[in-house]
Structure 1
């Protein structure tokens, strides 16, 4: 059985790497929450997570911040009441890398903790 995207390593890229093409990233995108994530202009991931209140959105933002520091891969986070919007790409290559999708899958996993019962 293939390893889930969220369980894969965040691999550092080099400036020699090329951004992923649509054909290359489509497989990874299909493994993300399709109600949250989209690829914009073949350049970056954007996602919006919904929450019951501000506190849960804030806690999620904190957990994603901890993950970002651990992996040294930092998304742009936009916190507001009941939602967190995320923008992410690999700045070193000015486009998408597999690591962006691994991070998004990990965020999806974190968000599952906040689903209403």
Structure 2
């Protein structure tokens, strides 16, 4: 089953975050997303031609967050939108983060 066919599941903590090796395997399915140096965050920067396009991407990322009940940090301004995701309850990455990233890619069309 592809990541876009899955749903984020509630994570209450009590489990370990993904290892770097696990995260790198999942990363293959979310083009454009970058692992942080410590493998606890997943980030994608969308470069845009203007503010309106950046805002549109931020809105799409926000819509996916609400649908999945999995909420990222979204920063945008003229010419860019940056989305950062991780699972707060475990202080690192979980499959949910990659499900979210894949769905954002699909929503944005990239």
Above 0.5 in TM-score?
yes
Consecutive unaligned residues of structure 2, counting only runs of 5 or more, are none
Q: Distance in 2 between matches of 1:79 and 1:93?
A: 26
Q: After TM superposition, where is structure 1 displaced by more than 3 Å over at least 4 residues in a row?
A: none
- 1:24-43 Cα shifts (integer Å, max 9, x gaps): 2222101111xx21111111
Match of 1:66 in 2: 63
Q: 1:28 aligns with which of 26, 29, 35?
A: 26
Question: Which runs of structure 2 are paired with 1:70-109 in the superposition (5 Å)?
Answer: 70-109=67-106
Count of residues in Structure 1 that have an aligned counterpart in Structure 2:
109
Q: 1:49 aligns with which of 46, 49, 72?
A: 46
Match of 2:35 in 1: 39
Relative to structure 2, which stretch is displaced further, 94-103 or 81-90?
A: 81-90
Consecutive unaligned residues of structure 1, counting only runs of 5 or more, are none
Deviation (angstroms), 1:52 = 2.7
Match of 1:18 in 2: 16
Do the aligned partners of 1:5 and 1:28 also contact (CA within 8 Å) in 2? no
Over aligned residue pairs, what C-alpha RMSD do you find? 1.4
Deviation (angstroms), 1:76 = 0.4
- 1:5-58 Cα shifts (integer Å, max 9, x gaps): 12212122221121000122222101111xx21111111111101223211211
Deviation (angstroms), 1:99 = 0.3
Q: Distance in 2 between matches of 1:15 and 1:5?
A: 21
Q: Hey, which of these two has a bigger chunk of helix by percent?
A: 2
TM-score (norm 2): 0.90
